[in-house]
Amino acid sequence: MGRTAILDSTDEAVAGIEDGSTVLVGGFGLAGMPFDLIDALIRQGAKDLTIVANNAGNGEVGLAALLKAGRVRKVLCSFPRQVDSYVFDELYRAGKIELEVVPQGNLAERMRAAGAGIGAFFCPTAVGTPLAEGKEARTIDGRDYVLEYPIKGDYALIAAHTADRQGNLVYRKTARNFGPVMATAASTTIVQVADVVPTGDLDPEAIVTPSIYVDRVVQVEARHYTVQGAR
């Protein structure tokens, strides 16, 4: 895709996302969720989306707001059901949204495979469980595995902490979660950051996502959101 574009607005950042796209959305609960990009995607209007994320939204912000706006056809996630996932729960029970439940490590590894050019991989997770039904199985060195296929995104929407103007990224604490993997697994990776610094200001040893994976960056104001209590 060439150079990373450093954009002035989230609306520019999400421009061109087509109806029917598969969109990887970062975050674990609220940590690392790209709220501003999701809000922009709601304004942008793309619909019939397939969303890949760990959860299926909390409260009525971020991913939950996108679901509530009726833009999502299908969700692939590991843990949709949470204390405050009522938007998803209602849509699911009304038959208005499709769900594919994927074990959390498989969700991550299937995206890693997509980003790393792996055609499929044998994985021991879920062997003998309902989530492995219908999947190709193989025994290797006496251990059972099932075949898992990559999950590739048309777009990834992720949040990082700081980008340099070349598009290199660093994250903050456990808000890193799915960001680095999703950045590799999408055709177009769009990142919101709290800060953009001059190229060369980030310690090369500390860069987590190199700019080769990053297409568009937009700086947003840090959002102070409330963290959940114990689940």
Partner 1 sequence: MTTDAATIENVDRDPLTMDELAKVIARDIPEGSFVNLGIGQPTKIADHLTAEQGVILHTENGMLGMGRKAEGDEIDADLTNAGKVPVIETPGCSYFHHADSFAMMRGGHLDVCVLGAFQVAANGDLANWSTGKPGDIPAVGGAMDLAIGAKDVFVMMSLFAKDGSPKLVEACTMPLTGVACVSRVYTDHAVFDITPDGVRVRETYGISLADLRERMTIDLQ
Binding site for partner 1 (CB under 8 A): 28-32, 54, 78-82, 89, 92-93, 99, 101-109, 111-112, 123-131, 144, 171-181, 208, 224-231
User: In what helix (H) or strand (E) does residue 12 lie, and over which residues does it extend?
Assistant: helix 10-13
Between 71 and 176, CB nearer to partner 1: 176
The closest of 4, 9, 41 to 163, measured between CA atoms, is 4
Residues 27 and 1: beta-carbon distance below 8 Å: no
Query: How far apart are CB 60 and partner 1 at their closest, in Å?
Result: 17
Strand-pair partners of 52: 24, 76
Burial of 76 (0-12, 13-18, 19+ CB in 10 A): buried
Kind of pairing between the strands at 143-148 and 137-140: antiparallel
Residues 37 and 14: beta-carbon distance below 8 Å: yes
Query: How far apart are CB 35 and partner 1 at their closest, in Å?
Result: 11
Between 34 and 180, CB nearer to partner 1: 180
Query: How far apart are CB 154 and partner 1 at their closest, in Å?
Result: 20
Query: How far apart are CB 47 and partner 1 at their closest, in Å?
Result: 23
Between 6 and 101, CB nearer to partner 1: 101
Between 27 and 167, CB nearer to partner 1: 27
The C-alpha angle 69, 70, 74, rounded to 5 degrees, equals: 130
Between 17 and 77, CB nearer to partner 1: 77
